[in-house]
Amino acid sequence: MKIKKGTIIELNVESLSYGGDGFARYNDIAVFVQKGLPGQTLEAVITKKNKKFLKAKILNILKKSPDQINPKCTHFQDCGGCSFQNYNYSKQLQEKGNQVKDLLKHITGLSSSKIKKIKKANQTYNYRNKMEFTFSNDPWFEKYNPKEKKDLCLGLHPKGRFDKTIDLENCEIQSEISNQILNIARHSAIKNNLTPYDIKKHTGFLRQIVIRSAIHKNETMVIIVTSENNQKKLEPLINDLKKVTEIKAIINNVNRKKADVSYSEEQYLLYGDDFITEKIGPYKFRISPDSFFQTNSKQAKILYDLIKKEANLTGNEIIYDLYCGTGTIGIYLSKKAKKIFGFEIIPSAIDDAIINASNNNVKNALFFQGDIKDSLIDNKEIDIIEKPDISIIDPPRSGLHPKALKNIIKLKQKKIIYISCNPSTQARDLIDFIDAGYKVINIIPVDMFPHTPHIESIVTLER
Ligand SMILES: C[S@@+](CC[C@H](N)C(=O)[O-])C[C@H]1O[C@@H](n2cnc3c(N)ncnc32)[C@H](O)[C@@H]1O
């Protein structure tokens, strides 16, 4: 049979692919099935044909996966947030561990004996401390009825449909209080006739709401993104939100651009403080609106404890904490290190890191703001500080810029601990470290994000 878009075929799903789709084969061609689970036999329709692979959508489940369970979330079928809520957690872990093994073996040729068992999350629901929801006038109806209209909805996008928004009342992976805030914000916006931003016509006022919480003392920060600076218009919504005692900070970001991002240089503090405070282990961390913070606070402790173990400090080490955010990892290791030098691009994160060191009585840490690719070598300020014995590297999903990678190698540190939320860019970067004489000692996958396809992994290298 000639396969094309729209062809209906029968498939047996073998595993979960990196990214979350089910992996199957049709006449030796790889097929990625949206929401397919290992063990399922499916009737599926081809949605995309490529020279090397096919993409497909489930039409009928002919045989259920033995590990399939009922998802908690009522929006599960449509929402692009979680992929595996309907798959047994121990199987999710097994599949994620295998993905790290396959990726690293395929890209770097490393033997799987280096890869440790994936660290599970003890809490698999209500764990996310940061979520971003979109205001929209273009709702996605789970059983689509174009006649049904909503002037304002608030929620997440369906998978692959950034033009549509699911009017979400409950997200199972964020905290209870964040769900309450989500619903208060929606009802208040409707009651007060605030208009959602229309991403096609570029009209309307409310764009996104970001809810960040710190579990330590139940502190929550709400960032409302609007298309103009009009605090009078926002007042009734702010008054409703202020009634929630857990809310310690309300911030307004103004995004006048067409691009649908919540980050903005135009930022106003509307209520409370401009930060919240989280605790990991014995350390307290101040988090500003634009600063990165690990999105699963409980699992961050597990991650940082593993990094500490891998660092195996004696007290004499100079440590570079590269991509340090609010200084968390460096501060976490500071007691057993001689000196910590942190590097980070976002100025407010560096401000947080300096305050965090001081608040935790850490006297052996210094922080530098700048782009890592330009700031490590041939920089008057940095050339005079000691070179590292150990570099901890925790870049964004895109991995290391080639210039940053070259400069890190020039630092000649004995040990590198490379943490990544994207094992494929991490594997790409490992090739250069291996070529420069580093040996991979350990690889530890960590599940920071249950029910989603994301995987964190720690790789320890020595020279
Ligand atoms: C994955 S986060 C890690 C933060 C920190 N290690 C932690 O555990 O909280 C990556 C950090 O890298 C920063 N960053 C991104 N690109 C950068 C660059 N080119 N130079 C320096 N820092 C960068 C981001 O602002 C973010 O704080």
Examine residue 17 and state whether it is found in any structural domain, yes or no.
yes
Calpha distance 24→259 (Å, rounded)? 36
- Percent of the chain surpassing pLDDT 70: 98
Query: What is the model's pLDDT at position 147?
Result: 59
Burial class (CB in 10 A: 0-12, 13-18, 19+), 443: buried
Residue 155 clears pLDDT 60, i.e. is over it: yes
Residues 186 and 37 both lie in one domain: no
176's enclosing H/E stretch is helix 176-191
Instruction: Please give the radius of gyration of the chain, using alpha carbons only, rounded to the nearest integer.
Output: 23
Q: In one letter, which amino acid is 47?
A: T
Residue 261 CB: number of other CB atoms within 10 A? 12
Domain end call among 276, 309, 332: 276
User: What is the pLDDT, as a whole number, of residue 264?
Assistant: 74
* 309 Cβ contact partners less than 8 Å away, ≥ 6 residues apart: none
In sequence order, which residues have a C-beta less than 8 Å from that of residue 363 and are 6 or more positions away? 357
Helix-helix angle 402-410:423-435, to 10 degrees:
40
Which protein residue has the closest C-alpha to ligand 1 atom 12? Answer: 323
Dist. CA 402 → ligand 1 center (Å): 16
CATH number at residue 416: 3.40.50.150
Q: Does any domain span residue 86? A: no
Residue 362 within a domain: yes
Q: Is residue 93 part of a domain?
A: no
Domain contains 183: yes
The arithmetic mean of pLDDT across residues 213-230, rounded, is: 95
231: containing domain: 130-276
Contact 449, 82 (CB under 8 A): no
Write the residue with the smallest CA distance to atom 19 of ligand 1.
371
Q: Are residues 264 and 351 in the same domain?
A: no
pLDDT of the residue at 143: 58
Looking at the fold, whether 263 and 137 belong to one and the same domain comes out as yes
- Is the pLDDT at 163 greater than 90? The verdict is no
Specify the DSSP element, H or E, that contains 208: strand 206-214
Going by alpha carbons, the residue nearest to atom 4 of ligand 1 is: 325
Strands in 266-272's sheet, in edge-to-edge order, are 166-167, 153-156, 130-136, 206-214, 219-226, 247-254, 266-272
32 with 136, same domain: the answer is: no
**270 and 324 inside one domain:** no
Structural domain contains residue 441: yes
The residue whose C-alpha atom lies closest to atom 7 belonging to ligand 1 is: 325
Last residue of a domain, one of 276, 304, 338: 276
Residue 52 burial (10 A CB sphere; 0-12, 13-18, 19+): exposed
Shared domain check, 425 and 314 = yes
The domain that contains 202 carries what CATH number? 2.40.50.1070
- Cite the active site residues: 421
Reported as a single tens digit per residue, the pLDDT across 375-433 is: 888 888 887 889 999 999 999 999 999 999 999 999 999 999 999 999 999 999 999 99
DSSP 133: E
Give the chain's mean pLDDT. Answer: 94
Entry pTM:
0.94
Question: 103 lies in a domain?
Answer: no
Which residue out of 280, 321, 332, 345 has the highest number of ligand 1 atoms within 8 Å of its CB and is therefore the one to mutate?
345
For residues 391 and 94, what is the distance between their CA atoms, to the nearest angstrom? 30
Going from the Cα of 8 to the center of ligand 1, the distance in angstroms, rounded, reads: 44
Rounded to the nearest whole angstrom, what is the distance from the C-alpha of residue 174 to the centroid of ligand 1?
Answer: 23
Q: How many domains does the chain have?
A: 3
pLDDT value at residue 142: 62
Q: Each residue of 117-141: pLDDT tens digit?
A: 999 999 999 999 999 999 999 888 7
At 258 the pLDDT is: 84
Q: What is the CATH number of the domain that holds 27?
A: 2.40.50.140
Same structural domain for residues 135 and 209? yes
Q: How far is the CA of 370 from the centre of ligand 1 (A)?
A: 11
Other beta carbons within 10 Å of 146: 6
For the Cβ of 292 lying below 6 angstroms from any atom of ligand 1, the answer is yes
Same domain membership, residue 310 and residue 255:
no
